[in-house]
Amino acid sequence: MVSTGNELLDVTLLSLYVSGMATILGSAIGIPLGALIGLKEFGGKGAVKTLTYTLYGFPPVLSGLVVYYMFSRAGPLGDLGILFTPTAMIIAETFLVIPLVTGITITSVVEVDRSIKDTVKALGASPSQSIITVMREAWVGLVMACMIGFGRVIAEVGAAYLVGGNIDGETRVLTTAIMLETRMGHFEWAMSLGIVLLSVALMVFLFLRLLQEREML
Partner 1 sequence: MKTAIALEDVSKKYNGVVALKGASFAVSKGEVFGIVGPSGAGKSTILRIMDLLEAPTKGRLLIDGQYVAQTDARAETVRRNIGMVLQKPVVLNRSVANNLGYSLMIRGWDEHRIAEVVDAELKRLGLHGRRRTNARNLSGGEMQRLCFARATVHAPSMLLLDEFAANLDPANVSLLENQVQEYMREDGNRTVVIVTHNMFQAKRMCTRIALIWDGEIVEIADRKKFFENPEDARTAAFVSGESVY
Q: Which of 1, 81, 113, 206 binds partner 1 (CB under 8 A)?
A: 113
**How far is the first Cα of the chain from the last one, in angstroms, to the nearest whole number?**
49
Q: Which of 50, 59, 118, 184 binds partner 1 (CB under 8 A)?
A: 118
Of 61, 121, 148, 155, the residue at the interface with partner 1 (CB under 8 A) is 121
Return d(Cα 217, Cα 108) in angstroms, integer: 20
**Number of residues located near partner 1, criterion CB under 8 A:** 20
Choose, by CB under 8 A, the member of 9, 51, 123, 206 that binds partner 1: 123
Q: Does 129 bind partner 1 (CB under 8 A)?
A: yes
Work out whether 217 is an interface residue with partner 1 (CB under 8 A): yes
89 closest CA partner among 9, 23, 186: 23
Does 41 engage in binding with partner 1 (CB under 8 A)?
no
The residue within the footprint of partner 1, chosen from 47, 57, 79, 126 (CB under 8 A), is 126
CA distance 11 to 13: 6
Residue 90 near residue 21 (C-beta atoms within 8 A):
yes
Between the CA of residue 195 and those of 170, 191, 201, what are the distances in Å? 22, 6, 10
Q: Which residues bind partner 1 (CB under 8 A)?
A: 113, 115-116, 118-126, 129, 133, 136-137, 139, 215-217
